[in-house]
């Protein structure tokens, strides 16, 4: 055996062995329990970053552990290959997005392989390949025919200089990121997935996922946002154009609002509509001031956060509606705090009981009418703020005195009797717009025919192949300038027709890749019957940044595919782990203009204290100090990223993996530390050395547990306690760090154990084998080598997880707590075979116990075997 640990040769050999033996190729076997472990696949940006390494190491440890449990494990890998960065890189370097993407994939695949991940590479998928996206197109056509995909106008960011649609992230301070031109909003037709049809199920099924983090489920519930409320109709008289609606005369039309507080209905003093509401548009037709106000509203942000913080402004339309019960005339206002996309795009405003309405009414001197009071008192009048709690109704005629629940039912009945409203469940979730006016994505399989309308591409014409040799120039979608792409014939009538040139949101591809991995080469469908064997994913691992959209869309797709009878079960991911961020210290100088300039660690000389913490830093270039900033997420903009490749090149993949798993539990953030990396490397060297030292005494004889000395038994006890503890840490709790800590303690004990007798070596052999097995999911290369050195012909990757030996776990001595009158006063250690009087004697001899016990006052002693001694004293 080599005297010293040499990571690179260990790693090459182990990886070659796995590759030659196709060790990780997953084959369906109904007789074996399957385990599908999936880490979120990467976007092929060019190089792996530390977040990837962490994510994939966690998945790998879990996969390898499950394999050692005898499960039939599938761990696949692929590429989320469509998307905007490829187009940006294409423009910058004048290379086609396809070429750029495939080159990146080749490089990153090599990097992933160098990490020694137990991946079935024969299942690799790249979502930009026609054999993948053809099935997405196929599903699209099915859903389109079912009405689960439909077309409507949507609003996009339009860059008038570049004549192109911009993604939200391409709009910086209201201007196009390349042109600097002021961005406009444009309405264009787009396709939408009717995800709202599944809102109820997407919400309810969260309760069937006990192994998802509560936080993620809460975020999803919030996003889906179910509200129980009432639709209320406010009648108004339709006015023959162009005279304004007056609210007088015969009220034939109704303005609908959605409210969660129908109990406040008698407190409505005005009605507010969104700037895009038809009533607003109608009223503005003859009111230039109102039109100007509406235009100004549209310029503002549309996100909820922006709406919540912006100043509330509004303008009266001059129109009125009638209160559904009293017939009172209520003014209609346009208000910027009303969203067109929610409910009916209109609200019944109750300033006394809604904060936004209160602020608005105060600003525009609109009446405030209180109708809800606390159950145990009265409202302080005049109101200085909205009273938003539930309470009892007053000022509400026949509804006076009712509680919220009773008022809800009574109002519902009264409204329904007049056909002016009914209870309604409202979701915050919107339908998913998937049209993107971009090149590098999956073409939407629709053909536009002047006679037949939107015709889905027939199956035998799929896939609609995206040409791969295109270099976009930033001015509009290149597909729309390629007649060879868009000129086609109508599949229905055969006349010339135009192919859709929009591509799909790339969230579509990542919504079903988990299923495709079950049968990645299937040529007859999205998946084949193998999906029944592998799905659902038993363990899914990825970043918390995907807690809402990606996971919601994937859950939605699973239900869509289930309803197409492609998969079974209601959910794609049985268990979810969201790993924490990788952080590192920042080094910077603040320039006089306030800007920070960040430095790489290699540009400075660091001085550290004995705990490895940085105390000061000097820039090598000029010898002057640099500020040691806080610990922040590794990022390009802060120059605090550590390149995993450098780490692997310098120490090997095992050190990188060990450090990642030791530095923090997977769900917490992980602080980068060079000292920690060196510590991980030293530990592996120590392990290697201990095995080499042990083997230098020749092969160990068989262990005979009847012949062990006390010390030998003590070591065996620690070995088997370590097995028991690490099984729980790795298998159930996923606290890989504490498992590693336990093996470190065990190695320390092995260094203290210098017994080279026959049985001493037998115990040592067992201890080393156990450590090597326990660590093998975490550091698979070094353990591959050590396992062979320890005398095993078969590879460790085929070995089973070690089992604790109950006989070894029997303790020679046990610890008992000693109580005096029920209070904990000491701990004693007695032989496991000690008799009752012996235990009592040891308890009474304990120094601390003696301070609380006057032996003449002892009334009785209770001994609970294996647990405690309670001494009852008088006084
Ligand atoms: C009257 C009322 C009185 C309201 C009151 C609240 C308190 P959630 O819980 O999110 O469903 N609303 C309805 N549609 C809106 C829109 N398009 N834009 C902005 N706000 C809208 O919220 C429902 C409440 O939000 C509704 O109940 C409505 O105001 C408002 F004391 O109606 B409420
Ligand atoms: Zn046609």
What span, in angstroms and rounded, lies between the C-alpha atoms of 191 and 187? 13
The residue that leads in pLDDT, 173 or 535, is 535
Cβ contact 541:53 at 8 Å: no
- The answer on pLDDT for 247 being more than 60 is no
Q: Which residue has its alpha carbon closest to ligand 1 atom 26?
A: 259
CA gap 54, 582 in Å, rounded: 8
Report the distance separating Cα 446 and Cα 464, nearest Å: 9
Over residues 513-544, the pLDDT tens digits come to 999 999 999 999 999 999 999 999 999 999 99
Find the 707 Cα to ligand 1 centroid distance in Å.
79
Find, among 867, 856, 855, the residue nearest to 819 by Cα.
867
How many degrees, rounded to 5, is the angle at CA 257 between CA 252 and CA 263?
110
195: pLDDT strictly greater than 80: yes
Q: Among 605, 584, 588, which Cα is nearest to 597's?
A: 588
pLDDT of 406 higher than 50: yes
Contacts 24+ apart (CB under 8 A), 855-858: none
Tell me how far apart the alpha carbons of residues 504 and 484 are, in angstroms, rounded to a whole number. Answer: 20
488 Cα to the center of ligand 2, angstroms:
11
Give the separation between CA 138 and CA 525, rounded to whole angstroms.
Answer: 9
Q: Quick one: which ligand is closest to 492's CA?
A: 2
Phi, psi (deg, nearest 5) at residue 310? -75, 155
Reported as a single tens digit per residue, the pLDDT across 255-270 is 999 999 999 999 999 9
CA angle (100, 102, 106) in 5-degree steps:
115
Distance in Å, CA 494 to ligand 2 centroid: 6
**Tens digit of pLDDT for each residue in 139-164?**
999 999 999 999 999 888 888 888 88
Write the pLDDT tens digit of every residue in 277-321: 999 999 999 899 999 999 888 776 555 556 667 788 999 999 999
Residues near ligand 1 (Cβ within 6 A): 227, 258-261, 264, 338-339, 342-343, 345, 347-348, 350, 353-354, 426
> Scanning the structure block, which residue is given the tokens 């040139």?
501
3-state secondary structure of 580: coil
Give the Å distance between the CA of 258 and the centre of ligand 1.
7
Helix (H, G, I), strand (E, B) or coil at 332: strand
Determine contact, residues 319/244, Cβ cutoff 8 Å.
yes
pTM of the model: 0.87
Instruction: For residues 14-24, give the mean pLDDT.
Output: 98
Task: Write the residue with the smallest CA distance to atom 28 of ligand 1.
Answer: 259
CB atoms within 10 A of CB 93: 11
What are the Cα distances from residue 114, in Å, to 124, 638, 647, 657? Answer: 16, 27, 11, 11
**Residue 676 CB contacts under 8 Å (≥ 6 apart), including other chains:** 612, 659, 662, 663
In this structure, what DSSP letter does residue 41 have?
P
The number of helices, as runs of H, and strands, as runs of E, in the chain is: 26, 37
Alpha carbon distance 262, 247 (integer Å): 22
- Asked if 28 and 623 touch (Cβ cutoff 8 Å), the reply is no
Nearest ligand to residue 498 Cα = 2
Q: What confidence category does residue 244 fall into, taking pLDDT thresholds of 50, 70 and 90?
A: very low
Residue among 259, 262, 312, 357 whose CB has most ligand 1 atoms within 8 A, to mutate: 259
Say if residues 589 and 596 touch (Cβ distance below 8 Å): yes
Tell me the sheet residues that pair with 331: 320
- Kindly report the protein residue whose alpha carbon is nearest to atom 5 of ligand 1: 354
Three-state DSSP at 223 gives: helix
* Average pLDDT over every residue of 815-819: 92
Ligand 1 mutation target, pool 343, 345, 383, most atoms within 8 A of CB: 343
E-strand ranges in 83-148 read: 125-126
Give the per-residue pLDDT at 300.
Answer: 61
Residue 164's closest CA among 389, 432, 399, 476? 476
CA of 865 to the centre of ligand 2 (A): 87
User: Are 301 and 360 a contacting pair, CB within 8 Å?
Assistant: no
Residue nearest ligand 1's atom 10 by CA: 227
> What's the confidence (pLDDT) of residue 243?
43
How many other C-beta atoms can be found within 10 angstroms of the C-beta atom of residue 836? 11
Ligand with smallest separation from the Cα of 277: 1
Contact 148, 102 (CB under 8 A): no
Q: Which of 276, 342, 411, 424 has most ligand 1 atoms within 8 Å of its beta carbon, as the pocket-test mutant? A: 342
**Confidence band, pLDDT 50/70/90 cuts, at residue 186:** confident
Coil, helix or strand for 121? helix
Which range is most confident: 180-184, 600-604, 769-773? 769-773
In sequence order, the β-bridge partners of residue 200 are none
Name the 3-class secondary structure at 581: coil
Whether 173 contacts 124, CB under 8 Å: no
The ligand with the least distance to the CA atom of 495 is: 2
pLDDT at 656 over 50: yes
The single-letter DSSP state of residue 183 is: P
Q: How many residues does the chain have?
A: 875
CA of 342, closest atom in ligand 1: 17
> Does the pLDDT of residue 248 top 90, yes or no?
no
CA distance 93 to 313: 47
CA 382 to ligand 1 center in whole angstroms: 23
Q: Residue 172: is the preceding peptide bond cis (ω within 30°)?
A: no
Q: What is the pLDDT of residues 829-839, one digit of tens each?
A: 888 888 899 89
Q: Whose CA is nearest to atom 27 of ligand 1?
A: 259
Whether 436 contacts 502, CB under 8 Å: yes
> pLDDT digits over 434-464, tens only?
999 999 999 999 999 999 999 999 999 999 9
Beta bridge partners of 421: 232
Helices 653-663, 780-789: axis angle to 10 degrees equals: 110
SS3 172: strand
Phi, psi of 725 (to 5 degrees): -65, -45
Dist CA 499 CA 515 (whole Å): 29
Task: Determine the pLDDT at residue 251.
Answer: 66
Nearest atom in ligand 1 to 386's CA: 31
Among 652, 785, 774, residue whose Cα is nearest residue 722: 774
SS3 287: coil
Place of tokens 């604790």: 804
State how far the Cα of 136 lies from the Cα of 466, in Å rounded to an integer: 13
> Two tokens at 324?
């559904």
**How distant is the alpha carbon of residue 84 from its chain centre?**
21
Distance CA 214, CA 195 (A): 23
Give the relative orientation of helices 549-563 and 130-146 as an angle to the nearest 10 degrees.
70
Residue closest by Cα to atom 29 of ligand 1? 259
Name the residue with the closest Cα to ligand 1, atom 14.
343
What pLDDT score does 240 carry?
46
Q: Give the number of other CB atoms < 10 A from CB of residue 653.
A: 28
- The DSSP symbol for 466 reads P
Computed over its alpha carbons, how large is the radius of gyration of the chain? 35
Q: What separation in Å is there between the alpha carbon of 493 and the centre of ligand 2? A: 4
Instruction: Name the average pLDDT for the chain.
Output: 93
The DSSP-derived string for 229-266 is: EEEEEEEE----TTSPP-S-S---EEEEEEES-GGGGG
- Ligand sitting nearest the alpha carbon of 360: 1
Backbone angles phi, psi at 618, to 5 degrees: -125, 130
């Amino acid at each position: 055996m080599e005297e010293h640990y040499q990571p690179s040769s260990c790693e090459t050999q182990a990886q070659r062995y796995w590759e030659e033996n196709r060790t990780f190729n997953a084959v369906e076997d109904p007789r074996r329990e399957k385990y599908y472990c999936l880490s979120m696949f990467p976007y092929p940006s060019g190089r792996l970053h530390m977040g990837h390494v962490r994510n994939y190491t966690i998945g790998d440890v879990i996969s390898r552990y499950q394999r050692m449990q005898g499960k039939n494990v599938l761990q696949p890998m692929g590429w989320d290959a469509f998307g905007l960065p490829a187009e940006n890189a294409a423009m910058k370097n004048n290379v086609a997005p396809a070429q750029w993407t495939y080159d990146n994939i080749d490089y990153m695949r090599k990097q992933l392989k160098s990490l020694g991940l137990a991946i079935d590479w024969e299942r690799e998928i790249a979502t930009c390949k026609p054999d993948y996206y053809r099935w997405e197109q196929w599903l699209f056509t099915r859903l389109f025919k079912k009405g689960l995909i439909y077309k409507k106008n949507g609003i996009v960011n339009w860059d008038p200089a570049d004549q192109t649609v911009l993604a939200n992230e391409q709009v910086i301070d209201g201007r196009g990121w390349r042109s600097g031109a002021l961005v406009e909003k444009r309405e264009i037709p787009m396709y939408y997935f009717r995800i709202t049809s599944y809102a109820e199920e997407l919400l309810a099924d969260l309760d069937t996922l006990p192994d998802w983090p509560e936080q993620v489920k809460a975020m999803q519930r919030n996003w889906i946002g179910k509200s129980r409320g009432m639709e209320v109709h406010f009648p108004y008289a339709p006015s023959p154009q162009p005279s304004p609606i007056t609210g007088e005369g015969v009220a034939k039309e109704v303005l609908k609002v959605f409210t969660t507080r129908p109990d406040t209905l008698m407190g409505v003093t005005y009605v507010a509509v969104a700037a895009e509401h038809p009533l607003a548009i109608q009223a503005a037709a003859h009111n230039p001031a109102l039109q100007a106000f509406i235009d100004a509203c549209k310029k503002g942000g549309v996100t909820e956060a922006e709406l919540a913080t912006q100043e509330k402004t509004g303008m009266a339309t001059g129109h009125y509606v009638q209160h559904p019960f009293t017939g009172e005339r209520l003014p209609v206002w346009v208000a910027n705090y009303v969203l067109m996309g929610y409910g009916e795009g209109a609200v019944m405003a109750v300033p006394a009981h809604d904060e936004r309405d209160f602020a608005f009414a105060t600003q525009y001197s609109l009446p405030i009418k209180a109708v809800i009071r606390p159950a145990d008192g009265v409202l302080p009048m005049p109101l200085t703020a909205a009273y938003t709690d539930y309470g009892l109704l007053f000022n509400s005629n026949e509804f006076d005195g009712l509680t919220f629940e009773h008022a809800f039912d009574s109002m519902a009945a009264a409204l329904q009797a007049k056909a002016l409203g009914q209870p309604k469940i409202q979701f915050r979730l919107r339908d998913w717009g998937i049209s993107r006016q971009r090149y590098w994505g999956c073409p939407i399989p629709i053909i536009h025919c002047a006679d037949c309308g939107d015709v889905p591409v027939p199956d035998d014409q799929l896939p609609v192949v995206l040409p791969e040799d295109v270099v976009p120039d930033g001015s509009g979608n290149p597909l729309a300038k390629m007649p060879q792409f868009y000129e086609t014939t109508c599949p229905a009538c055969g006349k010339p027709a135009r192919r859709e040139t929009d591509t799909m949101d790339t969230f579509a591809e990542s919504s079903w890749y988990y299923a495709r991995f079950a049968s990645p080469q299937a040529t007859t469908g999205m998946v084949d019957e193998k999906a029944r064997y592998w799905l659902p994913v038993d363990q899914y691992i990825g970043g918390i940044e995907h807690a809402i959209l990606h996971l919601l869309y994937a859950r939605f797709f699973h239900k869509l595919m289930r309803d197409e009878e492609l998969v079974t079960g209601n959910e794609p991911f049985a268990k979810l782990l969201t790993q924490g961020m990788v952080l590192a210290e920042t080094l910077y100088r603040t320039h006089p203009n306030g800007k920070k300039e960040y430095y790489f660690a290699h540009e400075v000389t660091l001085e550290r204290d004995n705990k490895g913490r940085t105390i000061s830093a000097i820039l090598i270039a000029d010898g002057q100090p640099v500020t040691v900033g806080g610990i922040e997420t590794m990022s390009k903009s802060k120059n605090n990223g550590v390149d995993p490749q450098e780490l692997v090149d310098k120490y090997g993949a095992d050190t990188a993996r060990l450090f990642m798993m030791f530095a923090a539990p997977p769900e917490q953030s992980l602080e980068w530390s060079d000292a920690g990396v060196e510590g991980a490397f030293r530990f592996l060297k120590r392990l290697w050395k201990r095995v080499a030292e042990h083997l230098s005494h020749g092969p160990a004889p068989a262990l005979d547990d009847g012949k062990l000395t006390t010390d030998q038994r003590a070591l065996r006890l620690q070995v088997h306690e370590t097995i028991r503890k690490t099984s729980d840490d790795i298998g159930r709790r996923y606290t890989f760090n504490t498992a590693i800590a336990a093996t470190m303690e065990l190695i320390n004990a092995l260094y203290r154990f210098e017994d080279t007798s026959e049985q001493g070596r037998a115990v040592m052999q067992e201890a080393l084998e156990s450590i090597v097995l326990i660590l093998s999911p975490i550091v698979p290369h070094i353990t591959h080598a050590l396992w062979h050195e320890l005398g095993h012909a078969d590879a460790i990757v085929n070995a089973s997880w070690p089992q604790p030996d109950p006989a070894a776990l029997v303790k020679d001595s046990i610890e008992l707590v000693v109580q005096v009158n029920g209070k904990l006063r000491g701990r004693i250690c007695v032989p496991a075979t000690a008799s009752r009087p012996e235990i009592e004697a040891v308890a009474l001899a304990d120094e601390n116990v003696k301070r609380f016990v006057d032996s003449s006052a002892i009334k009785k002693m209770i001994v609970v075997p294996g647990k405690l001694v309670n001494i009852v004293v008088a006084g």
